[in-house]
Structure 1
Amino acid sequence: MTLTIALAGDTMLGRGVAELLKRSAEPAALFSTGVREALSEADLVVLNLECCISDRGARWPDPFKRYFFRAPPAAAGVLARLGVDCVTLANNHALDFGVEALADTRSLLARAGVRVVGVGTEAATAREFAVLETAATRVAVVGVTDHPAAFAASDRRPGVAWADLRAGVPDWPEDTVARAAAEADVVLVTPHWGPNMTTRPPPHVQQAAARFLAAGATLVAGHSAHVFHGVADRVIYDMGGFVDDYAADPELRNDLGLLFLVTVGDPGPADPAPVRVRAVPLFLDYCHTRLARGAERTWIRNRFTVACAELGTAVHEEDGCLTVDRG
């Protein structure tokens, strides 16, 4: 068995991206041919959807919340035609327009054939994993976020799968991962963790990643920072952005990102979970993402190499990708 999963980070389809989708509801409007071809190499595509999809709802009543992201209903079909199999909504924008818009998001994505993890009508369903099936492999996807607590699903309220990872990993994420490992061949945990605009994972994120792996995760692929981090020990700490309309920070360069292609091979006695990680360099223009080139690509390669080296991992270039060497 060999399986390749395409993994993308923060995918924001609101504001300027939403206006573009109202004019052209096709994947080509948001992603270049090269990006779409890279996605087509994968057997499965999973990403963090950092918005709701709806034309209903009112803004979440928090006077300190600055950003509210809502995509038009057509966005669900765009994701499906892009080849997306599953999204996590366990993040700080799933409830930007309240429970009505969250319900629409789940319904529209289901109708388009895109699975959802990380949200639910109450805590138990929000914390449940999804199983994606290929011809020979069952892949379980687990979504969790460490912010905001106000969005957390409860026994009586819809919301996100929230865990206070800063205080340590509670029992439920580890229990979910363990149950997923018992039912599937591959377990992907995709957490929305840590603060925005950082270049390396904080200690609590690294500690949580180790706990997820110990519980049975094959791979952990995180997001939240809007800036990619390094990779080590089957953990992609942050994938950065995938598409948005954000202003670019000239130093952190959140307009330069990575699409990850992760290949999982047959386990064996000497290598129970062989995982190969390749990263495709991206340039995030205003509401449109293309492959990075020239100086953009060089900056990404240098930054990713340093970020991985800080975690004890080496990187080399191979067939247009940045490949993480396995120790």
Structure 2
Amino acid sequence: MSITVALAGDTMLGRCVAERLEQDPRPATVLSAALRGLVAGADAFVLNLECCVSDRGEPWPAPGKPFFFRAPPAAATVLADLGADCVTLANNHALDYGFDALADTRALLTRAGVRSVGAGPDPAAARRFALLEAGATRLAVVGVTDHPEDFAAGPDRPGVAYADLARGVPGWLADLVGRAAAEADAVLVTPHWGPNMTSAPPPHVRHTAAALLEAGATLVAGHSAHVFHGVADRCLFDMGDFVDDYAVDPVLRNDLGLLFLVTLDGTGPARPRPVRVEAVPLHLDFCRTTQASGDEWEWIRDRFTRACAEFGTTVTVRGERLVVDWA
């Protein structure tokens, strides 16, 4: 039996997006009808939530921190209405407005029926994986981030599941992935890793991906760069941005992204394995995302094809989608 998992990268619902959601808290405010239909048709939908969801808190007191993202409480319901089954909070914006705002985020998401991973009141909670029912498949989701260290959960303080991945995969993370593999049919690890605004994954990200797959991950889907990267076997190195109000780099074009639809197939006693990636080109307009078309679609096709070729991965065009077959 096969399932489809929809995967999206950095989803920022703060600042100007928050202002729009306060005026009109509906999924249509941030995502076009065509894209809402695509994620609704998937068996599971997982994304990186790059903001807190709260109306409390003060900006995190980190010298030089330039950006603070906070969405209104209604954003949790918007995510649920979009069909998000699980979000990862393991990133550099989960504590933008402090511990109370993080607690609100987790509580509001839970109340809306959206699972979360990657953050919690202590390290054990922050590192806990979520177990989703995707069709007849039990899908475990693991969230982790390699920055910032001052957001890390500690014995007496809330925070994120932090790991210094530049130094390798720590034992706790490898063990966590192994435990998830023992309890679930498939394991999705979704790391927030590497620097911003890069066009390809740095060496430590590539090494980490291989180690996570060796530990038992079925699929690795990363984010952080704000720019989509190429795809290697069972790894989406960076999914780019999904919704935001960010300034646009004229060269890297962080306003052009991809929504990934990954097919996992399992027959008989075999564990589900990723066999196909269908990437849907996106245009991130200011605070709202639609499908890309025309010259923008062609730019995404060309860049994704080149980025995948660096890993020996072939991309084919099927209709409006960019397809990688892993079977």
Q: TM-score range with shorter-chain normalisation?
A: over 0.9
TM-score (norm 2): 0.98
Q: Which position in structure 2 is the counterpart of 1:179? A: 179
Per-residue CA deviation, residues 48-101 of structure 1 (Å, 9 max, x unaligned), is 000000000011001210000000000000000000000000000000000000
Distance in 1 between residues matched to 2:102 and 2:315, nearest whole Å? 39
Distance in 2 between residues matched to 1:186 and 1:118, nearest whole Å? 18
Q: Which position in structure 1 is the counterpart of 2:261? A: 261
Deviation at 1:135, TM superposition (A): 3.9
Deviation at 1:271, TM superposition (A): 9.1
Q: Work out whether 1:121 is the aligned partner of 2:121.
A: yes
Deviation at 1:239, TM superposition (A): 0.2
Query: Any conservation in 2 of the 1:109–1:115 contact (CA below 8 Å)?
Result: yes
TM-score (norm 1): 0.98
Query: Any conservation in 2 of the 1:34–1:291 contact (CA below 8 Å)?
Result: yes
Q: Work out whether 1:62 is the aligned partner of 2:62.
A: yes
Q: Which position in structure 2 is the counterpart of 1:74? A: 74
Give, as a single letter, the amino acid of the residue that structure 1 aligns with 2:245. D
Where in structure 1 do 4 or more consecutive aligned residues deviate above 2 Å?
Answer: 267-275
Shift in alpha-carbon separation, 1:58–1:221, aligned structure 2, 3 A: same
Gap regions ≥5 residues in structure 2: none
Per-residue CA deviation, residues 202-224 of structure 1 (Å, 9 max, x unaligned), is 00000000011001111000000
Equivalent pairs: percent with the same residue?
A: 68
Distance in 2 between residues matched to 1:262 and 1:236, nearest whole Å? 10
Query: Any conservation in 2 of the 1:267–1:274 contact (CA below 8 Å)?
Result: no
Deviation at 1:270, TM superposition (A): 9.4
Aligned length: 327
Distance in 2 between residues matched to 1:212 and 1:42, nearest whole Å? 25
Distance in 2 between residues matched to 1:83 and 1:7, nearest whole Å? 12
Query: Any conservation in 2 of the 1:227–1:252 contact (CA below 8 Å)?
Result: yes
Q: Which position in structure 2 is the counterpart of 1:165? A: 165
Distance in 2 between residues matched to 1:30 and 1:5, nearest whole Å? 20
Distance in 1 between residues matched to 2:325 and 2:285, nearest whole Å? 29
Distance in 1 between residues matched to 2:133 and 2:269, nearest whole Å? 25
Other structure's SS at 1:66 match:
coil
Q: Which position in structure 1 is the counterpart of 2:201? A: 201
Distance in 2 between residues matched to 1:82 and 1:124, nearest whole Å? 29
Deviation at 1:269, TM superposition (A): 9.1
Give, as a single letter, the amino acid of the residue that structure 2 aligns with 1:285. D
Other structure's SS at 1:19 match:
helix
Q: Which position in structure 2 is the counterpart of 1:212? A: 212
Query: Any conservation in 1 of the 2:257–2:283 contact (CA below 8 Å)?
Result: yes
Other structure's SS at 2:6 match:
strand
Give, as a single letter, the amino acid of the residue that structure 2 aligns with 1:44. A
Query: Any conservation in 2 of the 1:313–1:326 contact (CA below 8 Å)?
Result: no
Distance in 1 between residues matched to 2:36 and 2:114, nearest whole Å? 17
Distance in 2 between residues matched to 1:325 and 1:117, nearest whole Å? 29
Query: Any conservation in 1 of the 2:163–2:169 contact (CA below 8 Å)?
Result: yes
